[in-house]
């Protein structure tokens, strides 16, 4: 256990976060029993609504168990010098500070992933299964995990190596070079997400000719939106939940529709969902999000550069020697109240954007099919019709269903 004052601040931050989250979840769970607003009476019938409440309560209890478990584990790990122990292991192999950091993060990432795997397995194959959402198989689940690890190891390994290499070379100016690399990588990922990353996990096929494609194309033409790439993704191989999203920009931009969306919605409703996505694009939300996330990364790296050479920051997590990787972990926790705050602002802006995209769909297409599609999507995912306002304020990137419908009807 570290005797640094910062150690107690770290414990304090983790505890406050855990207790606020627990209180928020509790408030939200208490609201499950509130009467459903009149506009939403037709979303579920009585039996379905009871099922949806059962689903939410099950998830609430499950989330409470997992968060309590991981909070306790993190505290014990800190108190009993877990990071110092992993640091020792990494140092026993080499003196190279890049390789030490790679081993250190490798053990921590893979270790924590193995510990949390039973929880995600339970969530997929017990909870989602019980409520009829799960379509995944054990084989698919573990293949996804393996691919995810491989991707994190390669991408994370390269970025970590570069950051420490920049640090060895430019000291606290490392943040400028790191920022440039991260900005370029996130731009590339954004551009080629559908071409490079999605194929690792899903199959995508161009939307076949027919009335739906015609309707989408004539809508796109009407609003002057060049749309060559409409793809259908086999989301149904994992879950019955439906979705649609936009990725890339310029010539690379494309719309991806889940096959589940096509099965569940009428054609007009799909066009309405698409009109909402086009709204995000036309109102420059996608560019805004990309630029603000790059600026936020720069800000975070700059603050990191101010503290990276302070030995107390490293020593706070109980390692015996100050190092870049130890300071990074410690900084991650110390900075989290600030990232929590910027996250709140981003959520607030995102909710505003959702209204703007809804308005765009209403003005260029129609409100009614968007309302009915939102209701169907909420029903299909058994989503919460009566969330607590404090919970919405803290966690929702989208306004609650009732607020969106009121706005669309206004």
Helix (H, G, I), strand (E, B) or coil at 159: helix
The reply to whether 277 belongs to the active site is yes
Least distance to Zn ion from the beta carbon of 337, Å?
A: 28
Which DSSP category does 308 fall into? T
Helices (H), 283-323: 285-307, 311-315
Contact 234, 259 (CB under 8 A): yes
CA distance 326 to 342: 24
Judged by beta carbon, residue 149 or residue 355, the one nearer Zn ion is 355
Judged by beta carbon, residue 269 or residue 354, the one nearer Zn ion is 354
Least distance to Zn ion from the beta carbon of 272, Å?
A: 12
Residues 6+ apart with CB under 8 A from 14: 71, 74, 75, 78, 333
Least distance to Zn ion from the beta carbon of 121, Å?
A: 31
Judged by beta carbon, residue 25 or residue 354, the one nearer Zn ion is 354
Structure tokens at 68: 């309590």
Structure tokens at 333: 């926790």
Least distance to Zn ion from the beta carbon of 397, Å?
A: 9
Least distance to Zn ion from the beta carbon of 354, Å?
A: 5
The reply to whether 42 belongs to the active site is no
Beta bridge partners of 204: 233
Least distance to Zn ion from the beta carbon of 398, Å?
A: 7
Judged by beta carbon, residue 264 or residue 354, the one nearer Zn ion is 354
Judged by beta carbon, residue 237 or residue 282, the one nearer Zn ion is 282
Judged by beta carbon, residue 280 or residue 388, the one nearer Zn ion is 280
Least distance to Zn ion from the beta carbon of 159, Å?
A: 29
Judged by beta carbon, residue 308 or residue 357, the one nearer Zn ion is 357
DSSP string over 256-269: EEEHHHHHHS-HHH
Q: In this structure, how many other beta carbons lie within 10 angstroms of the beta carbon of residue 50?
A: 11
Least distance to Zn ion from the beta carbon of 194, Å?
A: 18
Q: From the candidates 25, 87, 128, 358, give the one annotated as an active-site residue.
A: 358
Angle between helices 46-79 and 5-30 (to 10 degrees): 170
- Burial profile 75-95: b = 16 or more Cβ within 10 angstroms, e = fewer: eebbeebbbbebbeebbeeee
Sheet of strand 254-258, all strands in order from the earlier edge strand to the far edge: 204-206, 230-233, 254-258, 244-247
CA distance 208 to 212: 9
Q: Residue 236: which of 376, 140, 133 has the closest Cα?
A: 133
No. of helices (H) and no. of strands (E), the chain: 17, 4
Q: Residue 245: which of 297, 305, 285 has the closest Cα?
A: 285
CA distance 73 to 81: 12
Q: In this structure, how many other beta carbons lie within 10 angstroms of the beta carbon of residue 17?
A: 16
Q: From the candidates 268, 269, 277, 354, give the one annotated as an active-site residue.
A: 277
Judged by beta carbon, residue 61 or residue 352, the one nearer Zn ion is 352
Residue written as tokens 């990276």?
308
Q: Exposure of 113 by Cβ count < 10 A (0-12 exposed, 13-18 middle, 19+ buried)?
A: middle
Q: Which residues bind Zn ion (CB under 5 A)?
A: 354, 357
What amino acid positions are annotated as catalytic residues?
277, 358
């Amino acid at each position: 256990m570290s005797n640094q004052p910062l150690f107690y601040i770290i414990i304090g931050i983790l505890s406050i976060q855990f207790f606020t989250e627990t209180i928020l979840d509790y408030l939200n769970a208490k609201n499950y029993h509130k009467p459903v607003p009149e506009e939403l009476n037709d979303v579920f019938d009585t039996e379905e609504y009871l099922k949806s409440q059962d689903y939410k309560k099950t998830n609430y209890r499950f989330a409470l168990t997992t968060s309590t478990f991981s909070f306790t584990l993190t505290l014990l790990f800190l108190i009993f010098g877990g990071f110092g122990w992993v640091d020792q292991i990494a140092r026993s192999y080499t003196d190279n500070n890049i390789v030490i950091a790679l081993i250190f993060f490798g053990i921590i990432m893979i270790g924590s992933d193995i510990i949390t795997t039973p929880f995600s397995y339970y969530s997929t194959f017990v909870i989602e299964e019980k409520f009829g959402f799960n379509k995944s198989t054990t084989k698919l689940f573990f293949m996804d995990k393996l691919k995810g690890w491989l991707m994190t190891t390669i991408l994370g390994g390269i970025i970590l190596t570069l950051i420490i290499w920049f640090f060895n070379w430019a000291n606290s100016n490392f943040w400028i070079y790191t920022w440039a690399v991260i900005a370029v990588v996130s731009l590339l990922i954004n551009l080629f997400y559908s071409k490079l990353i999605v194929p690792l996990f899903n199959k995508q096929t161009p939307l076949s000719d027919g009335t739906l494609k015609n309707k989408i194309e004539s809508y796109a033409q009407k609003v002057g939106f060049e749309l060559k790439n409409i793809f259908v993704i086999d989301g149904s191989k994992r879950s019955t939940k439906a979705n649609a999203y936009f990725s890339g920009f310029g010539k690379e931009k494309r719309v991806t529709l889940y096959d589940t969306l096509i099965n569940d919605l009428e054609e007009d409703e799909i066009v309405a969902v698409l009109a909402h996505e086009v709204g995000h694009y036309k109102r420059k939300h996608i560019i805004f999000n990309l630029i603000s996330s790059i600026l936020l990364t720069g800000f975070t790296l700059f603050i990191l550069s101010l503290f990276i050479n302070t030995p107390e920051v490293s020593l706070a997590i109980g390692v015996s020697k100050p190092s870049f990787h130890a300071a990074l972990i410690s900084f991650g926790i110390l900075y989290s109240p600030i990232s929590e705050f910027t996250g709140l602002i981003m959520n607030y802006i995102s909710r505003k954007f959702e209204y703007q995209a809804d308005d765009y769909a209403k003005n260029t297409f129609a409100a009614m099919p968007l309302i009915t599609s939102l209701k169907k999507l909420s029903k299909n995912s058994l989503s919460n019709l009566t969330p607590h306002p404090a919970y919405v304020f803290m966690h929702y990137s989208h306004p609650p269903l009732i607020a969106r419908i009121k706005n669309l009807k206004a």
